[in-house]
Amino acid sequence: MARNVNFELHDLRAVLESPVDEDGIHDSFHQLIEEQTLDLSADAEAYELSELEEGEGRDNLGYLASPSSRQQHGEMQEERTEPLMDQQWSTATLRVLSSMPSRTIGRSRGAIISNYYNRTMQLRRRRQSRPSIRDFAPSSRPSIRGYGGVETDAGVDDERKWRQLVINLQNLPVSDRVQMLRCMPLSVDEKREIRRAALEYKGRRSSENQRVPCFSQLKICVIIALRHGWYSWLSLLSFLQLWQIALKKVSGRFGTGVLSYFVFLKTLLLFNFFLSIVTGFFLVLPQAIYPALSYALKFQGLELLTGGGYFTSTVMYYGYYTNSTLKKDCIWQQAISQHSNQTACHSLYYNMPLAYFFTIGFAFFITGIILVYTMSKSFGQSFRIDKSQGVLAMKVFASWDFKVSKKSSIKMQCENISTQIKELLSELALQQNTMGLLQKFGKSCVHLLAWTMCVGSTLACVLAVFYFSDYMHMDQKSRARVNDTANPLVKEAGLLALPVVVSTINLLLPGFFNAVAWMEEYNSPSTSNYVSIFRNLMLKVSVLGVLCYHWLGRIAHDPTSLGLQCWESFVGQELYRFLLMDFIFTMLDTFFGEFLWRLFSQKALKRKRKPVFDIARHVLELIYGQTLAWLGVLFIPVLPIVQIIKLLCMFYMKKASLMMNCQAPRKPWRACQMTTIFITLLCFPSFLGASVFVTYTMWTIKPSESCGPFRGLNSMFQSGKRWVEELEKGNPNLGWLVWAHTYLVENPFFLFVGAGIFLIVIYFHTQVLDGQRKIISLLQEQIKNEGEDKKFLITKLQFIHEQKRPLSSHRIRGASEVKPVSVPLSLCYL
Amino acid sequence: MGNKQTVFTAQQLDAYQVSSAQVKLYHRYRDLAPQLVPLDYTKEPDVKLPYELIGSMPELKDNPFRQRIAEVFSEDGEGNMTLDDFLDMFSVLSEMAPRDLKAYYAFKIYDFNNDDFICKSDLEKTLNKLTRNELTEDEVRMVCEKVMDEADLDNDGRLSLEDFQHMIIRAPDFISTFHIRI
C-alpha cells in the first residue's frame, strides 16, 4: 500500500489544525454538524448549492493522501499527486459531506437506529424460513433509480425507523433480542425506552382479554419472586467471587500480562475443585462411611512429607479401597425352598470397583471436554484469518492497558509503549537494509550453539534422572531381599531423594535456558517467548516421560521384587511426594529468587530495577504441577484436594512476593495469544499425557493381588467388562451392550476409521479458511475502490459548485489562494 | 443486603438488567458525593456529578484518557455524568461488553475533535498522551503516517469507524486491555 505522501503544505497544515489542548477542540466543521442536528428542516436545503452568511470555515479534514496508481478516470491522471487537502470547501459541500451515510453512523441516534433496524431485519430473515421480498434490505450500493429528487425527509424517517426497529425486536426470540440490545451503542435511557416499547407492543397485541385469570396472576407473582431470588443470588455470588480485590490490585499495578498468570491459577483451581468434588462424593465418602479393616500406624510428622506411614491405610490411597460391594447392613433371608433368594430389605448397595472405574473415567472425560471447549473458545478469540500487518496501528490503539491505575505503573506503561513504538519504527527502517550474508551466518551459528546447549543439557538431565531412578530401584530391591530392619520412616525419607533431584532440575535448568537466550538475538520478542516456552516444555515433558516409565515400566511390572504389597499405593505416594517437593521448591525459589535477589540487586549492585516477573516460566510450573495431579488421581483420589491447598498457598505467596519484589515485564506481552497457548499446553501435552498414562494403566497393567478395588482382576478395565457381562446374564436384552463393547471399544479398526474421518473434516475446514482469506483480500480491494469513488465525487461536487458561483474574493482565505483554484479549473472537460 | 434492593424499583431493576455489579457501581457512584446522590433512586432524581469528581476515582485518576472517557459517556459532552452515564461507562468498560461496542466507544474516545473520523491531529494527540510527549516530532509524524497507511482502507486520509473496527478485529488483546475492573 505504498503511496506518495505530499509534504508540501505541511507547515500550513500545522497552522490550520485545531489547538493541541483538549479543551479547544471544536472547530467550524463540528459546529456545522451541531447546527445540522438541531435544525432538521435545514436539511432540505442541504443540497442547495448556496452560500451562508456565517461565512465558510476551514474543513479540518486533515489531508487526503494521494491515491494509488489505480486509473479510474483518465482525466484525473495528472492531478493525482495533488492532495485533496486544505481545500476551501464551500459550506454547501461541507453540508453534503456531513450528511454522507458513513459520517452519520456514529453521530446521530437516527443513524444508529437505522443501522440496527437493518441488522435486526437480517436476523429476522435468518430466523424465518421464507422471508417476504419486501423484507430484503436494499443493496448497500445506492442507486439513483429510486430517487426522484435528492431530498430526504429525515424527521419522519427517524420515527418510522424507530417503530420498525421495535417491531423487529419483539419478533426476535428473547436471546437474540437481549443480544441486540446489548450491542447497541445507545445510552441506557434509549435502551430502556426501546426495551419497554418492545415489551409494551407485545403486551398490547395480546391484551384482548382484559381480565387476567387467577392462574396467570399467580404465575406472575411466582416469576417476580424468582427474579428477586435471582438478584439476591447474584449479589451473594459476587461476594463469593474469589480474589476479586486481589486481582484488581495486581492488574492495577502490573497490567494484564501478569494478571493472566493469576487468572490461569484460578482456572486450575476450578478444575481441581470439580475433580475433588467428583472423586470425593463418589469414592472417598462411601469408603469413609464403610471403613475397611486395616491396621493403623501411629501418626508421625514425617508423613506429611513422604505421604507414607499413617496415610497408607487411609482413604487417601488406592490400596485402602475395597473390591467388594458396600452394603448397608440388613438381614438377608435366604429361602430354603426352590424359590429364588428373597431379601428382606432392598438395601442400598454400592459396587466399589465399578464406582472407582467409572468415576475416574467420567472425571477425565468431563475435564477433557471442558478443556477442549475453553481452548477452542480462546483460540477463536485470538486467531485471525488474514495475515495482514497492522502492528503499529494496533500498538497505538489497542495497547494501552486501561486496567493499570497506579501512577508509577502508568508512567512505566507510557515508557514501555514509547520504547516499543521506537523499536517498531527502527525495525521498519531496518527492513530496508538487508543483512549481510556473514551476519546472517553468524546469527544462525549463535542460534545453533544455543540450541545445542539447551538440548544437550536437557538430555543430560533426563539421563541423570533415568540412572538415578534406576539406582534407587536397585537399592530398594536389594533392601527388600536383605529384609532390612531399619526404621521404615528413614527408608521412606530416603525415597524423597528422587523428587528432590527432579525439582532441583526443574528449578535450575530454566534459569540456564534464560542465560543462554541472552546471547541470542531474535527478530521479535514474541519469538523469544515461544522459544523459551518450547525449551522449558521439552525439559518437563521428557522428565515426566522418564518418570512414567520408571513407575509403570519398572515398579508396576515387577512389584514383588521390591517387597511391595501394593504398588499402586507406592506410586501414589511417589506422586504425592513429587507434588509436595514441587511446592516446597517453588516456595524456596520465591523466597531466594525474588526476595533475596531484590535485596541483593538493590543493596549490593545498586540497581534501581527490581527483578521482572517471568510469566511464562511460572505458568509452565503451574502446568507441570497440574499434570502431576492428573497423573495421580487414579492412585490418590484425594490428590485434587492437596492440589487445591497447594494452589491457594501459591496464590497468596506469589501475590505477596510480586507486590514486594517484582516489576512488570518491559517487553510487550500479548495476553490473549499467550493465554490461548497456555490453555493449549494444558490440554495437549499435559492432559493428554495424563489421560494416556491413566488409560494405559487401566488397560494393560495388572493390579495388585492384595489391595485396592481391582484386586484379583487381570486389568482394571476388566471390572467394567465383567459388569457388562453380568448385566447380560441378568437381562439378555442387553446383549447389544456386550457386542458394542467388543466391536467398537476394543476394536482398533473402529478407532482408525474415526480418526480418518476427523482428519478429513479438519482438511475441509482449512480449505474453507483459505477461501475466506481470498474473500477478505477481494473486499479490501473493493473498499479501496469505493474510497476512490468518494474522492472523485467530492472533487466533482466542489468543481460544479465553483462553476456555478462567480469567483468572489472572500471565498478564498488564507495562504493557499492560488493552488486550489488551479485544481478544478484543469478539470475542464465539462 | 436488604438495603440495596430498595434503592431501585423493580422496573428500574429490570431496565438496568441489574446485576450485583451494577448495584456495586451505584454505591461507587454514591461514594463520590454522598451528599449529592440520594439513597433512594426510585423517584429517578436528576443528579449529575461534575467531571472533577468522576476524574478523581482511583481507577481513572491517572489515566491519560480520563477526560475523553468522561466526555464520551456523559450526556452533555462535558464530562458531568448522571448515574445512567456512569453505569453505561462501566458496563462498556467491563469484561462482558461485546467487542464491537467497545470498538465503537474507543473510536469515540480517540476522536478528539468529535468529527466522527480519526484524523491526523487526533492521532497525534493520542500518541502524545500514550507516550507522554516522549517521542520527537519526526517520530510522531512517521508513526502517524504508518498508522494511516496500515489502517486506512478507503484511502481518504483519515480513519472512519469501519477502518477502526476492522483494525480492532485484528487485535485480540483489545478486549482485555480496554477493560477497567471495578
pLDDT, mean of each 10-residue run, chain A (830 residues): 42 39 42 56 42 38 36 37 50 71 62 75 70 53 47 59 81 78 76 78 52 67 78 61 82 86 92 92 82 67 67 72 64 38 53 86 93 88 66 86 88 87 80 74 90 94 94 86 70 83 92 88 80 92 93 84 82 90 92 82 76 87 94 90 94 90 78 88 92 90 82 82 80 74 75 90 92 89 85 85 68 44 40
Q: What pTM does this model have?
A: 0.74
Q: How many CA atoms lie within 13 A of A613 on its CB side?
A: 26
User: Who among A25, A235, A415 is closest to B1 (CB)?
Assistant: A235
Q: Do B177 and A402 touch (CB under 8 A)?
A: yes
Among residues A330, A462, A373, which one has the least CA distance to residue A679?
A: A373
Q: Do A248 and B181 touch (CB under 8 A)?
A: yes
Helix A639-661 / helix A615-632 crossing angle, nearest 10 deg:
170
Chain B closest-CA separation from residue A430 CA (Å) = 14
Residue A270, C-beta contacts closer than 8 angstroms, at least 6 positions apart: none
Q: How far apart are the C-alpha atoms of B67 and B61, rounded to whole Å?
A: 10
Which positions in chain A touch B121 (Cβ < 8 Å)?
17-18, 60, 62
Q: Do A3 and B149 touch (CB under 8 A)?
A: yes
Q: How far apart are the C-alpha atoms of A239 and A393, rounded to whole Å?
A: 40
Q: Do B149 and A33 touch (CB under 8 A)?
A: no
Q: Do A394 and B85 touch (CB under 8 A)?
A: no
pLDDT of residue A213: 57
pLDDT of residue A103: 61
pLDDT of residue A10: 41
pLDDT of residue A129: 54
Q: Do B101 and A183 touch (CB under 8 A)?
A: yes
Report ipTM (2 d.p.): 0.89
Cα torsion through A424, A426, A428, A430, rounded to 10: -140
Q: Which residue of B has its CA nearest to A225?
A: B10
Q: How far apart are the C-alpha atoms of B68 and B60, rounded to whole Å?
A: 11
Query: 10 Å Cβ neighbour count for A669?
Result: 20
User: Who among B21, B157, B177 is closest to A64 (CB)?
Assistant: B157
Q: How far apart are the C-alpha atoms of A42 and A493, rounded to whole Å?
A: 91
SS3 A326: strand
Q: How far apart are the C-alpha atoms of B51 and B66, rounded to whole Å?
A: 10
Among residues A714, A708, A717, A726, which one has the least CA distance to residue A352?
A: A708
Q: Which residue of A has its CA nearest to B152?
A: A784
Q: Do A414 and B145 touch (CB under 8 A)?
A: no
Q: How far is CA A437 from its chain centroid?
A: 41
Which helix (H) or strand (E) segment is A325 a member of? strand A325-327
Q: Do B150 and A390 touch (CB under 8 A)?
A: yes
pLDDT of residue A534: 93
pLDDT of residue A789: 85
Query: 10 Å Cβ neighbour count for B179?
Result: 19
| Residue A663 bridge partners (DSSP) | A612
Chain A closest-CA separation from residue B50 CA (Å) = 16
Query: What ranges in A684-747 are assigned the alpha helix state H?
Result: 689-700, 717-730, 735-740
Q: Do A396 and B126 touch (CB under 8 A)?
A: yes
pLDDT of residue A707: 80
User: Who among B58, B68, B87 is closest to A188 (CB)?
Assistant: B87
Best B57, B86, B108, B116 residue to mutate vs chain A (most A CBs within 10 Å)? B116
SS3 B98: coil
Residue A570, C-beta contacts closer than 8 angstroms, at least 6 positions apart: A555, A559, A562, A564
Among residues A827, A761, A759, which one has the least CA distance to residue A794?
A: A827
pLDDT of residue A808: 52
What one-character DSSP code corresponds to residue B132?
Answer: T
DSSP letter for each residue of A221-256: HHHHHHHHHHHHHHHHHHHH-TTHHHHHHHHHHH-H
A391 or B57, greater pLDDT: B57
A375 or B95, greater pLDDT: A375
Q: How far apart are the C-alpha atoms of A116 and A187, rounded to whole Å?
A: 14
Q: Do B116 and A103 touch (CB under 8 A)?
A: yes
User: Who among A17, A401, A673 is closest to B121 (CB)?
Assistant: A17
Residue A566 is placed in which grid cell?
501394593
Which positions in chain B touch A196 (Cβ < 8 Å)?
15
What one-character DSSP code corresponds to residue A75?
Answer: G
Query: 10 Å Cβ neighbour count for A277?
Result: 13
DSSP strand pairing (A325-327 vs A349-351): antiparallel
User: Who among A33, A188, A381 is closest to B84 (CB)?
Assistant: A188
pLDDT of residue A525: 73
User: Who among A251, A418, A671 is closest to B181 (CB)?
Assistant: A251
Phi-psi region of A350 (alpha: psi -120 to 50; beta: other; left: phi over 0): beta
Q: How far apart are the C-alpha atoms of A537 and A96, rounded to whole Å?
A: 61
